[in-house]
């Protein structure tokens, strides 16, 4: 379904709007760079922005497939988001009922939600015309305050909550785990969203046993097979407010 070719400025604005509207927080992605195969990390939002730009360019030049294929990909992405949000609501409900204090409940919430974010992002990206599923999402402990993923996450949550008076400076000094926790409180239980600073998530909150989600929640992680292609990504998985229309709506067409 060809679309008019976009100027660079309009394209960047469009990409930013799409990233903010999707319920897919920034994640740390393992990448391999250069001929010496040096490993490093990038933010999933930087990677996703490149995918969206490529998709829009392909669509504008007639390379995005026919209308039927385009609609199939839109529907598939919508299904991924619906499944992920349903799984997050289930995790929210279950962790709120755990017979432990709120700190431990939140620790379990963020840890399990992180797996769903990783699987959801990979599944979502697999439905682009230029299929991309070869991705490795690193553990939360690899994200430090001030690095690209933490900064992207702080900006994402501030933009996501902008209608409720949030500003970009609100999250810049929060740990990555607490930024994700803030987003989860805002989306799952807005009446408690002002409470997200009362029980911060410990930095070492990642219990390795929690990296595998229950089969009834969402897809299970996939194994990692690093590629020899220097420009390829290494591959691995980690191993309520009802979703509003802006979370599950038109942005899924890209």
Task: Please state, in angstroms and as integers, the Cα–Cα distance from residue 31 to each residue in 15, 61, 144, 230, following that order.
Answer: 21, 29, 17, 9
Q: What share of the chain is helix, strand, coil (3-state, %, to 5)?
A: 55, 5, 40
CA–CA separation, 219 vs 97, rounded Å? Answer: 23
- pLDDT level of residue 242 (50, 70, 90 thresholds): very low
CA–CA separation, 179 vs 196, rounded Å? Answer: 9
Give residue-wise pLDDT tens across range 128-154: 866 666 788 999 999 999 999 999 999
Within 10 angstroms of residue 2's Cβ, the number of other Cβ atoms is: 13
62: left (phi over 0), alpha (psi -120 to 50) or beta: left
Give pLDDT, residue 10. Answer: 79
Give pLDDT, residue 210. Answer: 31
Give residue-wise pLDDT tens across range 65-88: 677 877 888 899 999 999 999 999
| C-beta separation of 188 from 67 below 8 A | no
pTM: 0.74
For the record, the structure tokens of 104 come out as 């431990």
Most confident range (mean pLDDT) of 10-14, 139-143, 237-241 is 139-143
Residues 6+ apart with CB under 8 A from 222: 122, 235, 236, 237
């Amino acid at each position: 379904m060809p679309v008019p070719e976009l100027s660079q400025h309009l394209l960047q604005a469009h990409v930013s709007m799409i990233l903010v509207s999707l319920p897919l927080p920034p994640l740390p992605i393992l990448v391999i760079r250069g001929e010496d195969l040096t490993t490093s990390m990038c933010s999933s939002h930087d990677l996703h922005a490149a995918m969206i730009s490529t998709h829009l360019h392909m669509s504008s030049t007639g390379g995005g497939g026919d209308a039927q294929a385009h609609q199939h990909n839109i529907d598939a992405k919508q299904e991924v988001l619906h499944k992920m949000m349903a799984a997050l609501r289930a995790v929210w409900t279950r962790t709120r009922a755990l017979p432990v204090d709120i700190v431990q409940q939140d620790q379990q919430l963020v840890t399990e939600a992180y797996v769903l974010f990783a699987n959801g992002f990979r599944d979502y990206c697999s439905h682009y015309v230029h299929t991309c599923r070869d991705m490795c999402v690193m553990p939360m402990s690899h994200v430090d305050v001030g690095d690209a993923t933490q900064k992207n996450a702080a900006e994402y949550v501030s933009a996501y909550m902008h209608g409720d008076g949030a500003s970009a400076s609100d999250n810049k000094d929060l740990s990555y785990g607490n930024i994700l926790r803030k987003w989860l409180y805002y989306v799952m239980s807005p009446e408690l969203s002002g409470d997200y600073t009362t029980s911060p998530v410990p930095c070492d909150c990642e219990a390795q046993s929690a990296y595998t989600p229950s089969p009834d929640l969402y897809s299970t992680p996939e194994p990692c097979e690093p590629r020899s292609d220097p420009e390829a990504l290494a591959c691995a998985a980690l191993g309520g407010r009802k979703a509003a229309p802006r979370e599950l709506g038109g942005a899924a067409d890209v």
